[in-house]
Structure 1
Amino acid sequence: MSARRQLIAALSEDGLGGIATLHDVERAEKLVDAAVAEAVAAELRAVAADLENRVRAGGPRARGLAFARAIVIARAEGESVDSPRKFANHYAAAEKLRAQPGVWLPVHDYALKGSADAIARHIRCAVLPAYRPEGAFKARIEPTPDGYRVVACFVETTRKDVRP
């Protein structure tokens, strides 16, 4: 039974055709919330379908539209999407890399090639303090289905200014 039909049934439960008790009011409020959530989810699904059509059409904004579609679908399914953007913890990544010298490990994923390329360069040149001294790390980018991944490798070095 749809939320709308449940609401109608809840409002006509007593013999007078109205809400009889506080419990009925609370139940009706929950059903109203469910009806609103159902309507919002239906609208979000419609928006997701529109975004899907725009992605299929292609163009320079296809990746951004695909990302927006993924967020809309997550919200329609009731998932909480606090922030689509996740930040990299470069100090933690650098420590993992130092613990496994010579092994290439993922650092972070980026939607744009330019962003990933800049971070890889900042790792190699030690612009980011976590990756000091310069030359202690190698970094490159790899394509992924959703963008680009920065991977890096700690190069064992005999320099004295490298943290253990």
Structure 2
Amino acid sequence: MSRPAKTPRVSHQAAAARLREHPQTWLIVGDYRSRTTADDVARRIRSGYPIGAPEYGTPYEPIGAYESRTELVEDGTRVHARYIGETA
């Protein structure tokens, strides 16, 4: 039995910039083999919580400016997000 192929590492800096360039549009952030990991990333995008170590911060600021969702795909779970702008 062979190991599953690695998925490309997600650049969240680039993803957040792309989302800000296309407000209100759902875009793919990345694919994750683990649904748990994808759900955690989606939650962190929505809440503005750091992705990775807290000292790295988050590109998804301000808090509440992004929405996210997950979708099951053939090789795992895909995270989609959109920039909705700063909340009042």
TM-score interval, smaller chain = 0.7 to 0.9
Cα distance in 2 between the residues matched to 1:158 and 1:119: 21
TM-score (norm 1): 0.46
Name the one with the larger helix percent.
1
Letter in 2 for 1:138: E
Counterpart residue number, 1:127: 49
Specify which of 84, 105, 115 is matched with residue 27 of structure 2. 105
Cα distance, 1:133 vs. partner? 1.1
Counterpart residue number, 1:152: 81
The 4+ residue runs of structure 1 with deviation greater than 2 A are: 156-159
Cα distance, 1:91 vs. partner? 0.5
Matches within 5 A, 1:83-102: 84-102=6-24
Considering only CA atoms, is the larger Rg found in Structure 1 or Structure 2? 1
Alignment RMSD: 1.7
Letter in 2 for 1:97: L
Cα distance, 1:157 vs. partner? 2.7
**Secondary structure at the residue paired with 2:39?**
helix
Name the one with the larger strand percent.
2
Cα distance, 1:156 vs. partner? 2.3
Counterpart residue number, 1:140: 69
Task: Specify every segment of 5 or more residues in structure 1 that has no aligned partner in the other structure, as ranges.
Answer: 1-50, 52-64, 72-83, 160-164
Distance change (3 Å), C-alpha of 1:158 and 1:115: closer
- Aligned pairs, number: 81
Identity of aligned pairs, percent?
Answer: 37
Cα distance in 2 between the residues matched to 1:127 and 1:157: 16
Cα distance in 2 between the residues matched to 1:141 and 1:130: 19
